[in-house]
Amino acid sequence: MPTPFPGMDPYLEQPNLWIQVHTGLILEIQKFLAPLLRPRYHLAIKQRTYLSLLPLDAELMGIEDISMQTSDGKDDNLAMVAKAVEGELPMPETVSERYLEIYDTATSNVVTVIEILSPTNKITRDGRAQYERKRFKILASLINLVEIDLIRIGKPFAIKVKAQQNDYRIVISRSPQRPKADIYLFGIRDKIPDFPIPLLAGESEPVLPLNQILHDLYNVVGYDLAINYQQSIKPPLPEKEAQWIAQLFTKQILDNLTHPKE
């Protein structure tokens, strides 16, 4: 069953599911762009790995620890030990994040970096610091940056743009035009816009149909089987958007009843 959303499906943002979606998108973008770029360019998947303190997902219920101890083992001289509740500390975990680099085959220089942001880039201290350092390094270089943010959770990375509130964004930063950049802003009601992939100055830029790539991936993998659309969306949406989603689901149910699939 296809996703009921015209563009980004916010249910795909669930942390455990997004890991799969992120990897799938990286592979599919490489598969789409590679034939268009060769032999002038080579497209490679890269990976960075680091330790990060990931947020605790669930609230932990306190469990009373009632213990009686004595110094001499005799029952007539009991000393009460303070009651404790069971807790859990955030532990460092190894985070691996994949991204794409486009190389000039003549010089082996990196021409463009394509990043798809993950929750760890936006909500963990270490992940955000790691990505901000890399972002700064790219913006100070001759490398183009394509930054795809399909995650609503966390604070967006700094851009200066006059626009209303939006759910998602795509940033195209061409090195010769900095600090100016092309910003694509869109919400859950919108299709993900097609956008160009910058290369060396003056060269034709292939257009990436990310919306189609995501929806094809959704259908092939069968993400609908891993999603419970009856659950509430996290992080929660504004009331108007929540009402729109309710209407969207109602329409889909009616369409399926009217035009059932064999």
Domain boundaries, the chain: 10-51+88-229
What is the spatial distance between Cα 51 and Cα 89, in angstroms, rounded to a whole number?
Answer: 15
Q: How far apart are CA 57 and CA 161, in angstroms?
A: 33
- In the block, tokens 């900095």 appear at 178
Q: How far is CA 100 from CA 173, 217, 245, in A?
A: 15, 18, 33
Q: What is the pLDDT of residues 98-145, one digit of tens each?
A: 999 999 999 999 999 999 999 989 988 888 998 999 999 999 999 999
Spell out the long-range contacts of 137-142 with Cβ–Cβ below 8 A and sequence spacing 24 or more.
138/113, 138/173, 139/173, 139/178, 141/175, 142/175
Which residues, 6 or more positions from 105, have their beta carbon under 8 angstroms from its beta carbon? 39, 40, 41, 42
Measured CA to CA in angstroms, residue 122 lies from 24, 25, 54 at distances of 20, 19, 11
Quick: pLDDT tens for 190-240: 999 999 999 999 999 999 999 999 999 999 999 999 999 988 888 888 899
* pTM for the whole structure: 0.83
pLDDT per residue as tens digits for the range 37-90 = 999 999 999 998 877 776 655 333 333 333 334 445 555 555 667 888 888 777
Give the list of residues 6+ apart from residue 102 with CB closer than 8 angstroms, or none: 33, 37, 41, 42, 43, 110, 111, 112, 113, 114, 197, 199
10-51+88-229 classified as CATH 3.90.1570: yes
